[in-house]
Amino acid sequence: MPKDLVAASATPLVLGILSEGESYGYAILKRVNQLSGGELEWTDGMLYPLLHRLERLGYAEASWKVPAGSRTRRRKYYRITESGRQALAEQRRQWTVITGALRDLWHEASPAPSPALVGS
């Protein structure tokens, strides 16, 4: 998967996952893996600067919590805000346009472009 495609889809993916409910870094990453069937390979560390950016833009709110259970380690949980939801809606609209256009194009075109077409 090309790097810029991964980068471009990262924000709507994370916002979308957060719209399902409050979550933390590692869980978000696992959800991305699950959604993409392991096809979207993120470098784990890169998720955090992105989360911090969403926090700075006001799309997400963060709070440190000690999760219930045996662990004593605190975790940073992220929660989507109202402006985060608006941003997500806008991203969704844009992505729908792009995926829709590509789908239409590939439905009309022949299954695979012929060498002659590529050459012209």
Partner 1 sequence: MHPAGAGGQQPPDLEALIAEWRAGVEQQRAVDDADADELEGHLRDQMADLGSAGLAPDEAFLIAVKRMGSVDALSTEFAREHADRLWKRLAPGPSAGGQPSARRDFWTMIGFACAAALAVKVPEAFGLDLFDDGRFYARNVGLFALVPLAGFFAWRRGLPAARAIRMLVPPFAAAAVVVNAYPFEDGSDTEALAALHLPIALWLLVGVAYAGGDWRSDHKRMDYVRFTGEWFIYYVLIALGGGVLAGFTAGAFDVIGIDADDFVSSWVVACGALGAVVVASWLVEAKQSVVENMAPVLTKLFTPLFAAMLLAFLGAMVWTGRGIDFDRDVLIFFNLLLALVLGLHLYAVSARDHRAPHDVSDRLQFVLVASALVADALVLVAMVDRISDFGLTPNRVAALGENVVLLVNLAWSARLLLGFWRGRVTFASVERWQTAYTPVYLIWATVVVGVFPPLFGFA
Residue in the block written with tokens 């299954």? 111
Torsion, Cα of 2, 19, 47, 27 (10° steps): -110
Residue 2 C-beta: closest distance to partner 1, Å: 17
Among 46, 89, 97, 117, binds partner 1 (CB under 8 A): 46
The three-point CA angle 9-41-76 to 5° equals: 75
In terms of Cβ atoms closer than 10 Å to its own Cβ (0-12, 13-18, 19+), residue 75 is middle
Residue 84 C-beta: closest distance to partner 1, Å: 17
What is the per-residue binding string for partner 1 in 1-40, x denoting contact by CB under 8 A? -----------------------xxx--x-----------
- Residues lying near partner 1 in the complex (CB under 8 A) are found at 24-26, 29, 43-46, 48-50, 52-53, 56, 64, 70-76
